[in-house]
Amino acid sequence: MNIQLKNIKVCLGNKTVINDLNLTIAKSERVAIVGPNGSGKSTLLRTMIGILKPNHGNVYLDHEPISDIPGALRARKIGFLTQTDEVPQMTTVWDHVALGLHPYKRFLRNDFRNKEAIINEAIKNVGIEHLKDRFVERLSGGERKRVRLATLFAQNPYCMLLDEPLNSLDLEHKFSLLENIVSLNKNKGHCVISVLHDLNVAIRYFERVLIMNKGNIVADGVPLDVMTPNLLSEVFKVKSEIINKKRDGSFYLNIKSSL
């Protein structure tokens, strides 16, 4: 499955948030979207999944306009973890994760054993087995984020869009989620597209980085090729350097200061 955005322009009120953007993301890619606040990152994800209709241009899934794809089929192709933290009232964790199976209800109508196995695996993947009988609205912000992630994992779309998925998570669960993302991508072929603020996470866990600024993609490629000190200075207004950790061959970005 691939996603194509052709000549996309999105306006919110009188402001142009995305301007004449073209982009193709292929199946099995792991893509991070970074940029300063207000650069259009979240708007781009919402446009990709069809929540926002562009003022100009089209979004295609496998060469078919996303607006022409029926809802259940679209949900099997592409799923979205938003920043919002709204949850149904008086809904247990197990029942919330079960909502991820809604696009497959026709196929799982009488297959209760398989349904239960899918839900339990999604819950296990984000480490919330001990919470499965709790009401979601009574959990902490980080716990609710993990419930929503489990619901997306149960939905199991070909492509997952994640809008700042690490917010509210403690260090243990941040790294657990990132390892899950890499595993889903490498072992199951899922495309993962994530908005991030941590540039070092983008370098370490993602193969492709899009840098956005003022509604445009100003760089697109392998992290170390596009995250140059000059470009980061221009976009993020910081002084930086790339450090090579020679023992394991890895790299990280050192932010020295703001300009």
| CA distance to 83, 97, 236, per residue, from 71 (Å) | 21, 19, 38
Q: Residues 215, 60: contact at Cβ < 8 Å?
A: no
| pLDDT score of 130 | 96
CA distances from 79 to 158, 163, 182 (A): 8, 11, 17
**pLDDT in 10s for each residue of the chain, 259 residues:** 799 999 999 999 999 999 999 999 998 899 999 999 999 999 999 999 999 999 999 999 999 999 999 999 999 999 999 988 777 889 999 999 999 998 887 766 666 678 899 999 999 989 999 999 999 999 998 999 999 999 999 999 999 999 999 988 899 999 988 998 898 888 888 999 999 999 999 999 999 999 999 999 999 999 989 999 999 999 999 998 888 765 666 778 888 888 7
Give SS3 for 81: strand
Q: How many CA atoms lie within 13 A of 62 on its CB side?
A: 11
Helices (H), the chain: 41-48, 71-77, 93-98, 105-108, 112-125, 141-155, 171-188, 199-205, 223-226, 229-236
Per-residue model confidence (pLDDT) at position 252: 80
Is residue 12 classed as helix, strand or coil in its secondary structure? strand
| 7 Cα distance to chain centroid | 22
Distance CA 60, CA 250 (A): 36
Predicted local confidence at residue 168, as pLDDT: 85
